Structure 1
Amino acid sequence: MLTIPVNSLQSTQTPHSGYHWDGSNRRFFEGWYYRVTLPDCGQTFAFMYSIEDPIGGKSHSGGAAQVLGPDDEYVCRTFPDVTKFWASQDVLALGHWGKTHLNIEPIYLLPKEFTRHVSEGYQATAKLNQGFIQDPATGFYCRWQYEIQPIYGWGNQNSLQQSTAGWLSFLQIFEPGWQILMAHGLASGWIDWNGKIYQFQNAPAYGEKNWGGAFPQKWFWLNCNSFDGEPDLALTAGGGRRGVLWWMESVAMVGLHYQGKFYEFVPWNSKVTWDIQPWGRWQMTATNLEYEVELTGTTHLPGTPLRAPTANGLQFCCRDTMQGKLNLELRQIRGKYPLVILQAHSYLCGLEIGGGSWHNSWQSS
């Protein structure tokens, strides 16, 4: 039985790459998000892995794998046995075995060994994403295996990588925590979507995670690293209402990686404003002392409901499309007339709203 250690620490590893559960029985979830975009056919695959109350024996204990595929189609599989989940506390590495004939503690397996021994489940690291899930009711399935070459973590290239939520995210003050693991990378491999096989080489890839014992009331998210004529550009932006000790606060941020440089607009260095419709239009502006950025995401598609961990377990509580339109403008502030550094467009932007009370537009600063 072959096993190998998970990939060693590298310059693109961000804070919070490891698993956060401390072994206690408090309410806890951790979720991971891997995405690969295929510009040639205009499709995107998003893989969402989660574990809740891993101590086991609780009403919400268990894990799941969800895949949002071509044309925003969707497949999900739950894995109730928490003892078949594993994750590293030091690096990005996790997996959940569903169906297997192995009678050992779950661990990372060489890809060929995983295929041979685990007939349903997944494993993922900073450099690999592999798995198979099938909807037992419909027979609809997804099988995938691809390798990842990280390019941007979260911060300037060849520098120490940053925590997405700042240094306070190392304390249990903000919940849930949020970390972009890989703002941009290149993926090579294949995905079998219910019999249709997508093969790809150096396709734009992305990864993030969240964790904690509390859940945001409401949130929005924009993400894209497949722009027309701009192969070295990656955007992640989002905001939400989350708990801070005993009160709720609304926060938002914009992060851009472009030509080796990281442009960060966060509450402690920038003014961030937003106007998010209940569905269809996402507008954000952010300004710091040196730069300003303006984002407009739109979609005419209905989007797909997705499950997310909540206080009441995994529930349909967010809506996504991976085929949103995005206009982005980045400007350098110079006196009266800012200098436009970048104008970029995409038809393959991920757009999401989540949580409750989306009856009206959400405007805030």
Structure 2
Amino acid sequence: MPLHPLQTPHSGYHWDGQADRFFEGWYFRVTLPETGQTFAFMYSIEDPAGGQPNSGGTAQILGPDDGYFCRTFPDVSQFWAWKEGLGLGHWRGRPQTSPRLLSSSEFKHYVAEGYQVTATLHQGYLNDPVAGAVAWHYHTEPVYGWASTGQPQQSTAGFLSSLPIFEPGWQILMAHGYSTGWIEWQGKRYEFTNAPAYSEKNWGRSFPQKWFWLNCNAFDGVADLALTAGGGRRQVLTWMESVAMVGLHHGGKFYEFVPWNARVTWHIDPWGYWHMRCEKLGYVVEVTGTTALAGIPLRAPTREGMIYCCRDTALGDVSVKLWRQQGGNLDLIVAASSAQAGLEVGGGPWDQPWIKE
């Protein structure tokens, strides 16, 4: 099984075979600057031992103009995933071969409905009797994992994420890459070459109680810039903590602002406004996300199973500024904006702004 050299920690499947409550979820995004649209594929598996009320898989797709598609996979025995690295798939029905990575032609021949994905390949076909069919096949060349160019890949939550004390775990799999291929959505075919791509994952027993997230790697006039930021109230052993981070890749360098190396502040409205500012030795970053769109409700794993508990748009506005701090001076390293940001809030309560100063 060939693994890409930019494979990050936690790329492999985390389930230990036990029947305890468990989920793992993956997110793959392709941004199409020429059309101003985005496709985001969200896969999840819950209680994979089977026989539980929430056992099964889900594929959600966020499409053009924040369109939405969802298909469930009740049979956990038709799910496969690699322990050693990024590779997974799920099939509906009873294909004539065992669940595993197939060649592209084998997949088309054997799998009536399903998907398969690795660090470099993404292929699938899903057909909903009401919503219609979605098909896709593209290849990806990673540019940034979660580290500076030439450096060892890092865990998103630092070294502690290798210990099972956080709920949930979170790992950016690929901060930036380029995808080439096609996606067919509601009868329209989108072909793309070197479209900005991104992927991440979560795993554990439930999502955070409350969270927010920003992502963009298709900035106007600045090709070599990738932003991922987020925060949440998550469980650590027996207590809850509020944490947030900003990660930037630019010019071969990874700029990481996390609670143990930076002062991280935020102001997040229940919907429509995201603002973060982080300061650490030598650097300052400021991120602002806004949208006038209503967004689309998405499902996420909870202790009660998959429920609609978060709101997203893939067409948000975002601006980011990164400075180098020398003495009392701030020297701008990069400033950029985009109208193709992923913006999200989830959990709750969201009856008032969430402010951390």
TM norm. shorter chain > 0.5 = yes
Match of 1:303 in 2: 295
Which structure 1 residue ranges, 4+ long, deviate > 2 Å from structure 2? none
Q: Would you say the 8 A contact 1:11–1:160 is kept in 2? A: no
Match of 2:115 in 1: 122
Cα distance in 1 for residues equivalent to 2:222 and 2:272: 25
Q: Would you say the 8 A contact 1:100–1:117 is kept in 2? A: no
* Pairing of 1:155-166 with structure 2 (within 5 A): 155-166=147-158
Q: Which amino acid aligns with 1:318?
A: C
Q: Would you say the 8 A contact 1:11–1:158 is kept in 2? A: no
Cα distance in 1 for residues equivalent to 2:148 and 2:94: 42
The match for 2:145 among 134, 153, 169 is: 153
Q: Which amino acid aligns with 1:119?
A: A
The match for 2:81 among 80, 87, 97 is: 87
Cα distance in 2 for residues equivalent to 1:140 and 1:268: 47
Cα distance in 2 for residues equivalent to 1:26 and 1:215: 15
* Pairing of 1:15-30 with structure 2 (within 5 A): 15-30=9-24
Aligned length: 357
Cα distance in 2 for residues equivalent to 1:101 and 1:279: 43
Q: Which amino acid aligns with 1:304?
A: I
**Aligned-residue offset at 1:142:** 1.1
The match for 2:103 among 84, 100, 110 is: 110
* Pairing of 1:142-221 with structure 2 (within 5 A): 142-221=134-213
Cα distance in 2 for residues equivalent to 1:313 and 1:105: 27
Cα distance in 2 for residues equivalent to 1:134 and 1:267: 43
SS of residue in 2 equivalent to 1:114: helix
* Pairing of 1:205-354 with structure 2 (within 5 A): 205-354=197-346
SS of residue in 2 equivalent to 1:66: strand
Cα distance in 2 for residues equivalent to 1:223 and 1:173: 26
SS of residue in 2 equivalent to 1:116: helix
The reply on whether 1:34 has 2:42 as its aligned counterpart is no
Structure 1 residues not aligned, in runs of 5+: none
Q: Deviations over 1:203-259 (max 9, x none)?
A: 000000000123310000000000001111000000000000000000000000001
Cα distance in 2 for residues equivalent to 1:68 and 1:126: 20
Q: Which amino acid aligns with 1:13?
A: Q
Cα distance in 2 for residues equivalent to 1:351 and 1:98: 31
Cα distance in 1 for residues equivalent to 2:281 and 2:326: 10
Cα distance in 2 for residues equivalent to 1:283 and 1:234: 17
Q: Deviations over 1:107-137 (max 9, x none)?
A: 100011101110111000000111111223x
Q: Would you say the 8 A contact 1:76–1:133 is kept in 2? A: no
The reply on whether 1:55 has 2:53 as its aligned counterpart is no
Cα distance in 2 for residues equivalent to 1:36 and 1:184: 10
Cα distance in 2 for residues equivalent to 1:351 and 1:115: 34
Cα distance in 1 for residues equivalent to 2:54 and 2:78: 16
Cα distance in 2 for residues equivalent to 1:284 and 1:314: 29
SS of residue in 1 equivalent to 2:329: coil
**Aligned-residue offset at 1:139:** 3.8
Cα distance in 2 for residues equivalent to 1:12 and 1:35: 17
Q: Would you say the 8 A contact 2:207–2:300 is kept in 1? A: no
Cα distance in 2 for residues equivalent to 1:208 and 1:247: 25
Q: Which amino acid aligns with 1:79?
A: F
Structure 2 residues not aligned, in runs of 5+: none
Q: Would you say the 8 A contact 1:38–1:204 is kept in 2? A: yes
Q: Would you say the 8 A contact 1:235–1:254 is kept in 2? A: yes
Q: Would you say the 8 A contact 1:94–1:124 is kept in 2? A: yes
**Percent pairwise identity:** 62
**Aligned-residue offset at 1:100:** 4.2
**Aligned-residue offset at 1:92:** 0.1
Q: Which amino acid aligns with 1:121?
A: G
SS of residue in 2 equivalent to 1:162: coil
Please, what TM-score do these two structures have when normalized by structure 2?
Answer: 0.99
**Aligned-residue offset at 1:364:** 1.2
Cα distance in 2 for residues equivalent to 1:109 and 1:284: 43
Cα distance in 2 for residues equivalent to 1:10 and 1:94: 15
**Aligned-residue offset at 1:299:** 0.3
Q: Would you say the 8 A contact 2:137–2:183 is kept in 1? A: yes
Pick which of 206-215 and 72-81 moved more: 206-215
Q: Would you say the 8 A contact 1:214–1:243 is kept in 2? A: no
Cα distance in 2 for residues equivalent to 1:297 and 1:140: 33
Q: Would you say the 8 A contact 1:286–1:292 is kept in 2? A: yes
